[in-house]
C-alpha cells in the first residue's frame, strides 16, 4: 500500500515522542535488531491480499507456539555477537590443544576472557536458533516462516558447529573447544553469523507484532478479495487511547464518502485517525483494534490532517492545504483503490471562502467511485448542498450541554451536527471573564 511521509506523520505511526506512536505500541520485540526490522517493515505496508494473509498466518502460528520462543537469545546476545568481530584481540589459535589453550589464557588473559564471554553468547544464539528451528518447523508451519527457518538451519547446520550440540551450556566446554569456536566464528563465519542475526531480526519483528496482538487483544481482520474498496468494521477504536469509545464504520462503492461533523473536541480527528491507523495495521498483516473488521486491500492511503505553513518558503497555511488537495486529486485519478482522510478542510481561509472551496472539492471527489473518503468539517451548512448525491453518508459526534458544562459521549450518530459551541468553550475556560476584567 502506497503511503507518504505526511500520512505516516498524521497517523502517528512514528513520533519523536516515541511512546505516543503506533510503532511503540506494537513494538514488543526482544532485541534492538528486531525493533529496527519492525520499523523498516512499518515503512513499507504490504501490497497484496496474499502477502497480508501470509503474515497473518505467521503471527497466528507464533502466538500459538509462543511458550516455545527461545529465551536464550537476548538483546545482549545480539550485541555481543555483533561487537566480537570488531574487538581488538590477539590472534586466536586455529587448532588449539589443551596446552596452547592454556598458553593463550596465560599470555593473553584479557583477550581470553573476551573470547570466552563472546563465544558464550554465540553458543546461546546458535542453540536458541536450533531450538526455534526444531520446534517451529511443523507440518502446518506457514510457508513464509518455513523459508526463514530453512535459511537459519543452513547456517547453524555447519559441521564445524556440531560441538555446540554436545553441551547443554557454554560453560561446560573445555578451553580448547571454546577457542576453536572463537577462531571459527571470527575468521571463517562472520558473514554467516551476520546473516543469522538478520534472520533473527525478522523473526523477532514478527514475534513483537504477535505479542502486541496478544497484549492488546487485537483481532485479525478479514481481507476481502474485492476489486471494489470496502471497509466494514464493528467496535473499531484508536490503538493509542487508554479508554477508547468504539465505532462502527461501513464504507463501500455505493456509499464511499463519509461527511463527518461535530463540535471541536467531539472526536472527529480521533475517529479519522482510528480508521487510518487500523487500515495501516491491517496492511502490515497485524491485528487491529476492533471487534471485527473486513476490508479490501488498498493501493494507497493519503491524509490531510496536520497541514502546516512554511515560513521559510513564504507559503501560507491555506496555500499548503490547496497543494495537498491538488496532490491528492492527482494521485487518486489513476483508477486505483485509495483511502483518503481529510480533517477540517480549508481551515486557513475565511468561512465563506472555505465553504465555497470545500463544496467544490467534495463534489469533485464524489465523482471518484473507486476510492473511499472520510472528511470532517465544521462547515455544517454545506451538508444540505450535498444531500442529493447518492454515494455520500452523513455522520456526526453529538455534544450535550448541561449547566454550561460540555459533555462529549464520542458516539457516532447518523446525520449532520449543528453544534456551535466555540463561545461556550471560550467562556468555560475563563477566557471571556479574563477579557472582561482587563
Q: pLDDT tens for residues 199-219? A: 999 999 999 999 999 999 999
Residue 141: half-sphere exposure toward Cβ, Cα within 13 Å: 16
Q: Pick the range with the lowest mean pLDDT from 119-123, 279-283, 307-311.
A: 307-311
Choice between 345 and 285, residue whose per-residue pLDDT is larger: 285
Cα separation values, 231 from 251, 253, 288, 374, Å:
5, 10, 13, 11
Q: In what order do the strands lie in the sheet with 392-402?
A: 2-3, 300-304, 338-343, 372-376, 257-262, 392-402, 405-414
> Are the CB atoms for 282 and 221 separated by under 8 Å?
yes
> Are the CB atoms for 361 and 324 separated by under 8 Å?
no
- Interaxial angle between packed helices 190-215 and 143-156, expressed in degrees from 0 to 180 and rounded to the nearest 10: 140
pLDDT over 90 (residue 277):
yes
Q: Is 237 found in the same domain as 204?
A: no
List the grid coordinates of 302.
493519503
Q: Is 190 found in the same domain as 338?
A: no
Q: Is 183 found in the same domain as 286?
A: no
Q: Which of 329, 264, 335, 325 is nearest to 299 (CA)?
A: 335
Q: Is 102 found in the same domain as 241?
A: no
List the grid coordinates of 380.
455544517
Reported as a single tens digit per residue, the pLDDT across 156-185 is 999 999 999 999 999 999 999 999 999 999
Q: Chain-centre distance of CA 70, in angstroms? A: 24
The pLDDT value recorded for residue 404 is: 64
What number of residues does the chain have?
Answer: 438
Torsion 345-347-349-355 (CA) sign:
positive
**162: in domain:** yes
Mean pLDDT, residues 93-104: 92
pLDDT tier at 299, thresholds 50, 70, 90: very high
> Are the CB atoms for 417 and 380 separated by under 8 Å?
yes
pLDDT over 50 (residue 425):
yes
The pLDDT value recorded for residue 313 is: 44
List the grid coordinates of 77.
546476545
**420: in domain:** yes
Q: Is 210 found in the same domain as 336?
A: no
Q: Exposed, middle or buried by CB within 10 Å (0-12, 13-18, 19+), for 332?
A: buried
pLDDT over 80 (residue 136):
yes
Mean pLDDT, residues 397-406: 71
Q: Pick the range with the lowest mean pLDDT from 179-188, 211-220, 288-297, 402-411.
A: 402-411
**20: in domain:** no
Residue with cell 503506533: 22
Report d(CA 42, CA 20) in Å as an integer: 16
Residue that terminates a domain, selected from 168, 193, 215 = 215
Residue that terminates a domain, selected from 153, 187, 215 = 215
Report d(CA 151, CA 143) in Å as an integer: 12
Q: From the DSSP assignment, how many helices (H) and strands (E) are in the chain?
A: 17, 11
Q: Pick the range with the lowest mean pLDDT from 120-129, 206-215, 290-299, 429-438.
A: 429-438
Choice between 420 and 12, residue whose per-residue pLDDT is larger: 12
List the grid coordinates of 267.
472526536
Please give the backbone phi and psi of residue 231, each rounded to the nearest 5 degrees, phi first.
Answer: -135, 125
Domain that holds residue 415: 222-436
The CATH number of the domain holding residue 53 is 1.10.1420
Reported as a single tens digit per residue, the pLDDT across 218-269 is 999 999 998 899 999 999 999 999 889 899 999 999 999 999 998 777 788 9
pLDDT over 50 (residue 334):
yes
Provide the Cα torsion 410, 411, 412, 415; round to 10°: -100
pLDDT, the chain, mean: 90
pLDDT tier at 362, thresholds 50, 70, 90: very high
Residue that terminates a domain, selected from 215, 247, 273 = 215
Q: Is 275 helix (H, G, I), strand (E, B) or coil?
A: helix
Q: Is 206 found in the same domain as 152?
A: yes
Report d(CA 132, CA 128) in Å as an integer: 6
Looking at 157-189, list the stretches that DSSP marks H as alpha helix, in order from N- to C-terminal side.
162-165, 175-188
> Are the CB atoms for 328 and 302 separated by under 8 Å?
yes
Q: Is 258 found in the same domain as 383?
A: yes
Structural domain total, the chain: 2
Q: Is 51 found in the same domain as 172?
A: yes
**10: in domain:** no
Q: Is 244 found in the same domain as 163?
A: no
Pairing of strands 257-262, 292-296: unpaired
The CATH number of the domain holding residue 242 is 3.40.50.300
pLDDT tier at 307, thresholds 50, 70, 90: low
Q: Which of 120, 119, 130, 33 is nearest to 75 (CA)?
A: 33
pLDDT over 60 (residue 311):
no
Q: Is 248 found in the same domain as 194?
A: no
Mean pLDDT, residues 268-275: 94
**16: in domain:** no
Mean pLDDT, residues 95-103: 93
Report d(CA 254, CA 392) in Å as an integer: 8
pLDDT tier at 312, thresholds 50, 70, 90: very low
**404: in domain:** yes
Q: Pick the range with the lowest mean pLDDT from 46-55, 57-66, 249-258, 338-347.
A: 338-347
Q: Exposed, middle or buried by CB within 10 Å (0-12, 13-18, 19+), for 343?
A: buried
**2: in domain:** no
Report d(CA 68, CA 136) in Å as an integer: 8
**14: in domain:** no
Q: Is 305 found in the same domain as 181?
A: no
The pLDDT value recorded for residue 431 is: 73
pLDDT over 90 (residue 314):
no
Q: Is 242 found in the same domain as 210?
A: no
The pLDDT value recorded for residue 133 is: 96
Report d(CA 303, CA 342) in Å as an integer: 6
Amino acid at each position: 500500500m502506497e503511503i507518504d511521509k505526511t500520512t505516516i506523520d498524521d497517523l502517528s505511526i512514528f513520533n519523536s515522542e516515541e511512546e505516543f506512536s503506533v510503532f511503540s505500541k506494537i513494538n514488543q520485540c526482544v532485541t534492538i535488531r528486531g525493533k529496527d526490522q519492525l520499523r523498516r517493515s512499518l515503512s513499507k505496508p504490504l501490497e497484496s491480499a496474499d502477502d497480508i494473509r501470509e503474515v497473518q498466518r505467521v503471527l497466528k502460528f507464533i502466538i500459538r507456539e509462543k511458550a516455545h520462543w527461545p529465551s536464550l537469545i537476548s538483546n545482549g546476545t545480539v550485541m555481543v555477537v555483533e561487537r566480537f568481530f570488531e574487538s581488538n584481540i590477539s590472534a586466536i589459535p586455529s587448532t588449539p590443544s589443551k596446552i596452547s589453550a592454556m598458553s593463550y589464557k596465560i599470555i593473553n588473559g584479557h583477550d581470553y576472557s573476551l573470547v570466552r564471554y563472546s563465544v558464550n553468547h554465540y553458543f546461546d544464539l546458535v542453540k536458541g536458533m536450533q531450538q526455534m528451528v526444531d520446534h517451529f518447523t511443523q507440518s502446518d508451519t506457514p510457508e513464509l516462516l518455513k523459508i526463514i527457518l530453512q535459511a537459519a538451519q543452513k547456517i547453524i547446520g555447519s559441521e564445524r558447529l556440531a560441538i555446540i550440540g554436545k553441551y547443554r551450556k557454554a560453560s561446560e566446554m573445555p578451553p580448547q573447544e571454546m577457542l576453536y569456536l572463537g577462531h571459527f566464528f571470527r575468521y571463517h563465519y562472520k558473514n554467516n553469523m551476520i546473516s543469522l542475526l538478520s534472520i533473527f531480526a525478522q523473526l523477532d519483528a514478527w514475534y513483537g507484532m504477535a505479542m502486541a496482538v496478544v497484549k492488546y487483544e487485537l483481532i485479525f481482520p478479514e481481507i476481502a478479495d474485492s476489486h471494489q474498496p470496502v471497509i466494514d468494521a464493528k467496535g473499531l477504536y484508536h490503538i493509542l487511547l487508554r479508554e477508547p469509545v468504539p465505532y462502527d464504520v461501513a464504507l463501500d462503492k455505493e456509499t464511499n464518502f463519509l461527511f463527518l461533523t461535530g463540535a471541536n473536541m467531539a472526536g472527529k480527528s480521533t475517529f479519522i485517525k482510528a480508521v487510518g491507523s487500523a487500515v495501516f495495521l491491517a496492511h502490515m498483516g497485524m491485528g487491529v483494534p476492533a471487534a471485527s473488521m473486513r476490508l479490501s486491500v488498498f493501493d494507497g492511503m493519503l491524509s490531510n490532517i496536520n497541514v502546516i505553513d512554511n515560513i521559510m518558503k513564504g507559503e501560507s497555511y491555506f496555500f499548503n492545504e490547496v497543494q495537498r488537495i491538488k496532490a491528492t486529486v492527482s494521485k487518486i485519478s489513476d483508477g486505483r483503490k485509495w483511502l483518503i482522510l481529510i480533517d477540517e478542510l480549508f481551515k486557513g481561509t475565511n468561512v465563506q471562502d472555505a465553504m465555497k472551496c470545500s463544496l467544490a472539492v467534495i463534489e469533485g471527489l464524489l465523482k471518484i467511485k473507486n476510492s473511499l473518503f472520510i472528511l470532517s468539517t465544521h462547515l455544517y451548512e454545506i451538508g444540505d448542498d450535498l444531500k442529493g448525491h447518492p454515494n455520500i453518508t452523513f455522520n456526526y459526534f453529538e455534544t450535550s450541554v448541561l449547566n454550561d458544562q460540555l459533555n462529549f459521549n464520542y458516539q457516532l450518530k447518523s446525520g449532520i451536527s449543528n453544534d456551535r459551541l466555540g463561545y461556550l468553550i471560550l467562556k468555560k475556560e475563563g477566557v471571556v471573564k479574563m477579557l472582561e476584567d482587563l
